[in-house]
Amino acid sequence: MSGVAVHGFVEDMAPVKRLAAALAAPSALAALHVFPDGETLPIVPVDGARTVIFYRSLHHPNERLISLMLAADAYRRAGVPRLVLVAPYLCYLRQDKVFAPGQPLSRDVIGPMIGDAFDRVLTVQAHLHRTTDLTVALRAPADSLSIAGALASLAGGDARPLVVGPDRESEPWVREAADRLNSEWITFEKQRKGDHDVILTLPDAAIVAGRPVLLLDDVCSSGGTLEGAIGQLRQAGAVSIDVAVAHALFGPEIERRLVAAGARRILSSDSVPHSTNALELAGVLAAALQDEMRP
């Protein structure tokens, strides 16, 4: 068998090719046939690779998971010895406990399903608020790469902004970003009542006055938390507010609302294709995959 190849479906081929180039590995397209009723049939390349790195970011997860799991089965049946999933955005981690009666614990359903299909999973800035070990959650070797420092360097420049997180759970990567910028940091207190209903409290508003601010979050979907945070930071006297998110899951209307609320710039990684993409992940992912390249 030959060495390592990077594969993916057509909608992911741009990041697939960037990752393959960073690894100096070949890339290949996995075909995806769609039947009239919406069922999908992946047809994976049989190119003799001993290790296939399959790139599939899992935004819009309900439509992306089925094709991913079927592709994993196809690779196994084709005799691929080692199968690695690169999923820069890893889905279904936010529901990491039962928050109300009648709800599932989604992490413990979807995580093992993915982990059982792959020998290794690599993701970026996973939503690990109550998950201390991603490997245990997925039942497979798994790594979550932090890009807080890289986002901060990209967004902060030489301004040394105050780094602000949307809640206490963001503290580890907000602190990492502030350390990269040699700056200070603070987090909001957040009480969530629903997808679009959060109560934010800024413990020390005085530290904001007259300063540029970098508001940092792992995921933005509805935009409610960031919109509320921007409003409070403006009231507290921030001279500018830049927003950096690892995973941009929001649409154009949310982007317009954040700008209208007072965001000067919005930056994200390319884990999810978006108009705000500014940080390419190929180099970060390739560095973490160097052990897969050894003979």
134 membership: H or E segment, kind and range: helix 134-138
Domains 2-145 and 148-279 share a fold: yes
Average pLDDT over residues 259-283: 97
CATH topology for 2-145? Rossmann fold (3.40.50)
Over the range 139-178, which residues count as b (16 or more CB within 10 Å of their CB) and which as e? Answer: ebebebbbbbebbbeebbeebebbbbbbbebbeebbebbb
Residue 211 has pLDDT above 90, yes or no: yes
Crossing angle, helix 224-235 and helix 252-261, to 10 degrees? 10
Q: Could you read off the pLDDT of 218-257 as tens digits, one per residue? A: 999 999 999 999 999 999 999 999 999 999 999 999 999 9
Indicate the pLDDT class of residue 192, thresholds 50, 70 and 90: low
Predicted pLDDT of residue 197:
63
Average pLDDT over residues 130-159: 89
CA distances from 294 to 50, 109, 290, 291 (A): 11, 33, 7, 6
Residue 14 has pLDDT above 70, yes or no: yes
Predicted pLDDT of residue 200:
87
Judging by beta carbons within 10 Å of its beta carbon (0-12, 13-18, 19+), is residue 227 exposed, middle or buried? buried
Report pTM.
Answer: 0.93
Average pLDDT over residues 167-178: 92
DSSP 293: G
Predicted pLDDT of residue 89:
98
Indicate the pLDDT class of residue 157, thresholds 50, 70 and 90: confident
Q: Please provide the CATH number assigned to the domain covering 148-279.
A: 3.40.50.2020
Residue 198 has pLDDT above 80, yes or no: no
Q: Could you read off the pLDDT of 87-136 as tens digits, one per residue? A: 999 999 988 888 889 999 999 999 999 999 999 999 999 987 777 789 98
The pairing of beta strand 189-194 with beta strand 197-201: antiparallel
| Residue boundaries of the structural domains of the chain | 2-145, 148-279
Greater model confidence, 192 or 227: 227
Long-range contacts of 126-131 (CB under 8 A, 24+ apart): 126/90, 126/93, 127/90, 127/93, 127/94, 127/96, 127/218, 127/219, 128/93, 129/94, 129/96, 129/169, 130/96, 130/97, 131/93, 131/96, 131/107
> How confident is the prediction for the chain on average, in pLDDT?
93
